[in-house]
């Protein structure tokens, strides 16, 4: 008897759950086998990479945020996802026929998988890709450009706190005569910050980037760099005073949130990191004069903390401790006030 089975398809929601279970279990073998089986069944590699691997990565992060998965489980699953992507890509690169691209995540940006996926799609489309990895310091990126002379830099920024560094990197790449395509969620809805930071192009997904780079690339270099000045006195003050701001807030926190007196070392460290994120998101908001960058962050942080049984009142108290120290800075206090007004009541 011949047993026939219908080909596996990405339209099957159960398949995503199965793959998530495999990566969540650290089962690299099983996850790779499933990805290869899809390829054998005729699913395009690009779809497996973007929809299955990329989609699952988003889910992995959400499970971490909801406190359903530990950091260790998230890291292990991310590592498996990266390995599956690499295994799937073997033998799929087209011979280089288009040109050479330097692909990097902005300094301080550790969300590396989206850029990796982009790199694989570009290679399949005939680009030679130098992937420099997560968190690439600007000067190293520029040295690499001088050494390799690429046709483009593709810069990934998933988190808005890295936008000031992205701005510096984009400016330096363009000064070196290499056009920049920017992407990643940190670039804002519709990529609106990419243009303000002077990028030559933006794409919202790996496929869009492939199409953009395969079209009329390079775009004519604008005769002048964008002249918009970003990062005023308030931004500079916040960046300079970041260490004292966090120290003072930590010092005063126990007085307003008594539970902090019983925090262990790990909880104190996590709280200190949270104040760091508050300062960095506020700075990014001021840099671009976009208060909603900070509002989005605080709304999301309220959910993350709630999943860890930290009441929203603690976040509110933390924001007020930061506000108290920035009383002479009207844009900063206005941004904090908007975020405070937005938080849920309890």
The contact set with ligand B12 (CB under 6 A) reads 50, 54, 57-58, 60-62, 64, 74, 78, 108-115, 117-118, 154-156, 158-160, 181-186, 203, 205-206, 209, 277, 296-297, 300
Minimum distance of ligand B12 from residue 104's CB (angstroms): 9
Q: Which residue lies nearer to ligand B12 by CB, 170 or 233?
A: 170
Q: Which residue lies nearer to ligand B12 by CB, 61 or 99?
A: 61
Residues 136 and 106: beta-carbon distance below 8 Å = yes
Q: DSSP characters for 6-43?
A: PPP-TT-HHHHHHHHHHHHTT-HHHHHHHHHHHHHTT-
* Distance set, CA 196 to CA 21, 109, 177, 205, 229 (Å): 41, 19, 18, 19, 10
Minimum distance of ligand B12 from residue 330's CB (angstroms): 23
Could you tell me the two tokens for 212?
């953009």
Q: Which residue lies nearer to ligand B12 by CB, 300 or 330?
A: 300
Could you tell me the two tokens for 153?
């830099």
Minimum distance of ligand B12 from residue 6's CB (angstroms): 28
Q: Which residue lies nearer to ligand B12 by CB, 58 or 94?
A: 58
Cβ count near 119 (within 10 Å): 22
Q: DSSP characters for 118-177?
A: HHHHHHHTTEEEEEEEEEE-HHHHHHHHHHH--SEEEEE--SGGGHHHHHHHHHHHHHTT
Cβ count near 300 (within 10 Å): 12
330 Cβ contact list (under 8 Å, min separation 6): 234
CA dihedral 289, 290, 294, 297 (to 10 degrees): -150
Minimum distance of ligand B12 from residue 262's CB (angstroms): 22
Q: Which residue lies nearer to ligand B12 by CB, 204 or 226?
A: 204
Minimum distance of ligand B12 from residue 200's CB (angstroms): 11
Minimum distance of ligand B12 from residue 327's CB (angstroms): 26
Q: Which residue lies nearer to ligand B12 by CB, 7 or 67?
A: 67
Q: By Cβ distance, which residue is nearest to ligand B12? A: 183
CA 221 to chain centre: 27
Assign 309 to helix, strand or coil.
coil
Minimum distance of ligand B12 from residue 3's CB (angstroms): 36
Lookup result for tokens 């087209």: 94
Q: Which residue lies nearer to ligand B12 by CB, 200 or 234?
A: 200
């Amino acid at each position: 008897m011949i047993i026939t089975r219908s080909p596996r398809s990405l339209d099957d929601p159960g398949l995503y759950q199965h793959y998530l279970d495999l990566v969540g279990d650290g089962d690299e073998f099983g996850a790779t086998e499933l990805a290869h089986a899809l390829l054998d069944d005729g699913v395009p590699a690009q779809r497996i990479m973007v929809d299955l691997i990329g989609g699952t990565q988003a889910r992995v992060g959400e499970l971490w945020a909801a406190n359903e998965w530990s950091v260790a489980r998230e890291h292990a699953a991310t590592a498996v996802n990266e390995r599956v992507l690499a295994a799937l890509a073997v033998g799929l690169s087209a011979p280089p026929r288009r040109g050479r691209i330097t692909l990097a995540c902005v300094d301080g940006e550790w969300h590396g998988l989206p850029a990796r996926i982009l790199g694989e799609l570009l290679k399949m489309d005939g680009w030679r890709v130098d992937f420099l990895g997560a968190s690439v310091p600007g000067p190293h990126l520029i040295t690499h450009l001088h050494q390799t002379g690429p046709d483009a830099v593709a810069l990934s920024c998933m988190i808005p706190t890295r936008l000031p560094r992205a701005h510096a990197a984009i400016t330096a790449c363009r000064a070196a005569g290499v056009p920049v395509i920017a992407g990643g969620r940190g670039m804002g809805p519709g990529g609106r910050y990419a243009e303000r930071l002077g990028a030559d192009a933006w794409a919202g997904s790996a496929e869009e980037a492939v199409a953009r780079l395969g079209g009329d690339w390079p775009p004519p270099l604008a005769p002048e760099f964008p002249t918009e000045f970003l990062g005023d006195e308030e931004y500079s003050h916040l960046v300079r005073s970041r260490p004292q701001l966090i120290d003072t807030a930590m010092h005063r926190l126990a007085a307003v949130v008594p539970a902090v007196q019983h925090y262990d070392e790990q909880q104190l460290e996590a709280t200190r990191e949270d104040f760091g994120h508050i300062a960095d998101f506020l700075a990014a908001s001021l840099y671009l004069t976009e208060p909603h960058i900070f509002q989005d962050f605080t709304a999301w942080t309220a959910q993350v903390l709630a999943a860890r049984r930290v009441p929203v009142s603690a976040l509110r108290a933390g924001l007020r401790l930061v506000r108290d120290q920035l009383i002479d800075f009207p844009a900063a206090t206005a941004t904090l006030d908007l975020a405070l007004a937005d938080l849920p009541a309890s």
